[in-house]
Structures are given as structure tokens and as C-alpha cells.
Structure 1
Amino acid sequence: MPASDTTAGAEIGVTDAPMPADTAAISDALDRFNIEKTGVDDRRPLAVLVRDPETHQVIGGLTGRTSLGLFFVDLFFLPSELRGSGLGAEILRQAEDEARARGCRAAVLCTITFQAPGFYRKQGWESLGEVPCDPPGTSRVFMTKELTARSAAGPDARSAR
């Protein structure tokens, strides 16, 4: 661990390799604080996983979480050979449907201009804003989508597939 500092009776240090237990301690403490302030205990992970049909190893998918009426998309990846087939839209639809079932009213995510903002726009997401990042000319794109209204496909779209 790099050098640490003692400030206000607490030791602080910067690391690029936090232990999972350290990350969990911060996450759990923030969750307890939020529950105390809101009275709502609804934070849950959400994942839609894509597995190789032969090895059953995860090769892509979406991870995120739901909390306090919001669905947060943290990571979304598909190998290039699976893109453009409609699989990404289906993964996102399944995640959004699960978020709705959990009571989420909206969703948020961050992508990069060279990643998938066009894909998300096609799925009904809207840009909240952009923040420039590297390489020059690139931006982080913050996006949102209302989840309270069902898509044009209607509530029975899943059962029709």
C-alpha cells in the first residue's frame, strides 16, 4: 500500500488495488447510511449474463444494481461477434424489465463516445450530458431512461418471444 497520511484522527491512503473487503466496507456503510436516512432497504445487484454454450463461461452481459427507485447500469459488454444481432437490445430489455419489477422509475448509465451511445439512444435512452475525457475529442456520455412507461411492444412482449 502506498504511503498514508493521518488527518483528523484517521489514516488515509491511496491505492490502485483495494481489497474486496475494503470496497465492501465502504459500500455497506453507505448502504446503512442510506437506509437510516430513507427507511428504504432495496439495494440489490442485477446482472444479465451471456454464457458460451459449450463452456458455460461468461463471455459478456450487463451488470448493475437497483436502489431507491433507480437502476444503475455499471458494465455492459458483448464480444464483437455477438454485436448487431439484437442480443444487446434483448439483454438491456431484460435488465430494464427486472428493474421495473423491482419498482425502479428510471435508469442511469455512463458510456464513452467511442462505445455505445448510439445503441442506447436506439433503445430509448437520452443524454443527460457529456464530460470530456482522454483521448482528446472523446467524452463520457451520461444517459438516462424513464422506466415507468412500457415500451411500444407492451407488457406482454416477453411472453410473445
Structure 2
Amino acid sequence: MTDKITIVPCEKGSIVKIVDGINQYNLDKVSALSDMWTPLEYTAKNENGEEIGGVLAGIGYWNGLEINILWVKDDYRKKGIGTYILKYIEDIAKSKGATVAMLDTFDFQAEEFYLKNGYMPIGEIQNFPKGYKRIYFSKRLDF
């Protein structure tokens, strides 16, 4: 069967078809609890209006908060700003019905930060990148 299949780079229409296809498959198995994707994207600014951090996240259709990126500028780290941003996004997500948060990080990035903030490791990839590990975390928001 695979000898008659060709694989080519995606065009925009193909990307939409792939996303729609997996969404339809998923929703045939488990009904959506909310909109397909509710973006939660915020910037933290200092008193001078300078961007010093931010978060790119969203809530998926099963009410899970997916944190893709949480960043704090080097000069502002270890001052509670990351925790402030994290709690802010969790509170908004909870108010919109999110029941769980999920993310990944590397051990050289923010492993201890997420542990300190109540996240539980649920999996990891050893030696990726070489000499480090990628860690997957989750946290219940509905307690």
C-alpha cells in the first residue's frame, strides 16, 4: 500500500486539513468541553513599560491549559515574576473552566521552578539535548 503513497511539503490548505482531521477524530471519541482553542497570551512589563516576561498559552477543547512558553528576562529572574505570571495565567484559565495545566521544559531551564509551583513531572526524555533532559509536567487546577 505505501508504495503508491507520496509525501510532499504542506501547503496552507493541507495544514488546515490535517488539523481539522485530527480534531474531528478526537471529537468523535470525546466531546469538546469548550472552544477549540482559547489563546491566553500575556506580556509582563516593568514600571517603564519594558517587556520583561510573558507567557504564550491557551485552553484546548478539553479544558486543559497548555503552557507553550513562559519567559522572564534574565535581570528579573529569581524575583517572583515568573511565579506571578504563572499564577496569573492559571487563575485566568481556572476562571474559564480549565481543570489541568500541562507544559514541558528542560532541566537547564525551569525544572525546579515548576516543581516549586506545584507541578508534577509526568515524563521525561533523557539525553535530549545531549547531556540534559526534557521534562513534561502537569498540575491539577480543579482542587
TM-score range, shorter chain: 0.7 to 0.9
Determine the structure 1 residue equivalent to 2:138.
144
Q: Out of 58, 76, 84, which is 1:82 matched to? A: 76
- Deviation, 1:38, is 2.6
CA distance in 1, matches of 2:58, 2:3: 33
TM-score, with normalisation over the residues of structure 1? 0.70
Equivalent residue in structure 2 for 1:92, among 86, 92, 97: 86
Q: What is the letter of the counterpart of residue 56 of structure 2?
A: T
Alignment length (residue pairs): 140
Matches within 5 A, 1:14-29: 23-29=15-21
Deviation at 1:42, TM superposition (A): 2.4
- Structure 1 residue runs without a partner (length 5+): 1-6, 150-161
Quickly say closer, same or farther: Cα 1:114–1:65, change in 2 above 3 A. same
**1:9-51 deviation line (CA, Å, top 9, x unaligned):** 65413x6xx7666545433443343334333152322222224
Residue ranges of structure 2 left out of the alignment (5+ in a row): none
Q: Which amino acid aligns with 2:111?
A: P
Residue 137 of structure 1 aligns with an amino acid whose one-letter code is G
Q: Is the 8 Å Cα contact of residues 100 and 147 (structure 1) preserved in structure 2?
A: yes
CA shift in 2, pair 1:8/1:60, >3 Å? farther
Aligned equivalents of 2:123, 2:56: Cα separation in 1: 22
Segments of 4+ moved more than 6 angstroms: 18-21
Structure with bigger helix share is: 2
Shift of 1:104: 1.8
Question: What CA distance in whole angstroms lies between the structure 2 residues aligned with 1:120 and 1:47?
Answer: 19
For residue 35 of structure 2, what is the aligned residue in structure 1? 42
**CA apart distance, 1:75:** 1.2
Q: How many percent of aligned residue pairs carry the same amino acid?
A: 27
Once residues 52 and 27 of structure 1 are traced to their aligned partners in structure 2, the CA distance between those partners, rounded to angstroms, is 38
Is residue 107–residue 146 contact of structure 1 (8 Å, CA) maintained in 2?
Answer: yes
